[in-house]
Structure formats: C-alpha cells, structure tokens
Amino acid sequence: MLERIEKLQVISLGILIGLALVVSTKMVSSTIAKNEISVTGSAYEIVKSDKGTLDFEIEVKKPTRQEAYKTAQEQIKVVQQYLRDKKIEKVELRTPNIYPVYRNDARGYSTNEVDHYNFLQTVSIAADDVELIKEISTDVASLINSGIVINVNTPSYDYSKLPELKVTLLEKASKDAKDRAASMLKPSHNSVGKISAVRMGVYQITPVDSTNVSDMGINDTSTIDKKVTAVANVTFRIK
C-alpha cells in the first residue's frame, strides 16, 4: 500500500513539473517573439546659472497722495544711485501703485476716512553676474538706514544655454538606456540592435541636492547651481 502511494506521488510530481515547463516555455517564447526591449535611461549635469533677476518694492506711507508721491520720487533716486554704485545696468521701474488706506472705527470696521496713502514702486533689475544679484537681494534692504522701506522678493536664476544642454543630455540618456539594455541581455547571450522607438521624458531642473521629480517637470529658479536631468525611454531590437 505504501509503495503504491509513493508511485502516485512521483507520477503527480512529474505531471506538475511537466506543466510548469510548458508554461515557462510559453512565457519565454512570448518575450522573445517580440524581439524588442524597452529601457529607461537618464543623464544629468550640474550647471551654474548665468542670468539673474531681482524684484523689490519701495513702500511709502504718507498722509496725502502728493506727499506719498514726492517722497517716493526722492527715494527712487537714492535707490537708483545705489544700483549704479553696484554696477547694475539693467534697471526697470514698473508702473507704481498708489492707494488710500482707510481708518477703522472702535469696532474694527472700515470707515470712509483716509488714514494714509500707500505708494508702492516695484524695481526690477537683471545681470549676468548672479553672485551680484544674490548680494543685492540681501543688501538692498539696508537702505532702511536711509529711511527707505524696501520689500525684497526672492531672486530668480536661470541658465541661458539650457536648450543646447537638453539636446546633449538626451543623447547621453539614450546611451545610458543602451548600456542598461546590453547589461540586461548579456545573461541571455543576446545583444542590443537598432532603436525602434524613443520617448523623451520631461526635464527636471532642481537644486543640486534635491531628489524631487514631477510628471510635469521641475524648473527651479531659486538656486544658482542646478542639476539638469533628462530621461529617455528607448525601445531596442534584440539581436
């Protein structure tokens, strides 16, 4: 009886192994039948921005519109001289904004009585010297010592040769994809053939130490040094 059970177990095991081999053969055949392999490659380069811009706002508060305007014009001249001393050549004065600020009553509700006038003048500067833009972004507020209130925005830094770099990185990303495909095919003794399709991913322009990615791409303008990353999904024929 025991011998019969052992024979049945051996037969059952043989059937299971046979079915597994059939399924395995079909899976391998299906993969090879396509005769293609798709691989994602990437490449990056660290660059230093070569263009910088900065916006800041001169703010004046005076009892009358005329006083606010007159004081603002005097302060603008001081700021312009400051920028000339810093060797900034590209200076733009945006359209000013002047508006009344009304007093509140004892209950905190706004009245029709004007408390003062606000005069806001935005100044926009640009330079190829990004370090100078960075310096001014932290130093211009020191004009408060001259009685000038300045609100400084975050500077913006850009790399002007980005279009050419994107082409170079795409080539490197495609090569990286080919190297990866070759490594994957090596155990099967196949090799990488011609490219049958290429799909370029979005570019990620991030701070150097950042690991953030986005399906829509990232375009960081807050840092001088940037990491530009390109991704390419390449389909190769298998030889």
Per-residue model confidence (pLDDT) at position 12: 42
Per-residue model confidence (pLDDT) at position 109: 86
Of the candidates 125, 155, 138, the one whose C-alpha atom is nearest the C-alpha of residue 222 is 155
Quote the CA–CA distance of 122 and 120 in Å, as a whole number.
Answer: 7
Please, what are the domains in the chain?
A: 35-48+160-238 (3.30.110.170), 51-155 (3.30.70.2970)
pLDDT digits (tens, 9 = 90+) for 61-119: 999 999 999 999 999 999 999 999 999 999 999 999 999 999 998 888 889 999 999 99
Model pTM?
0.77
Per-residue model confidence (pLDDT) at position 53: 98
Residues in the chain predicted with pLDDT less than 50, given as ranges, are 1-33
Of the candidates 146, 148, 126, the one whose C-alpha atom is nearest the C-alpha of residue 137 is 126
CA angle 129, 134, 140 (to 5 degrees): 115
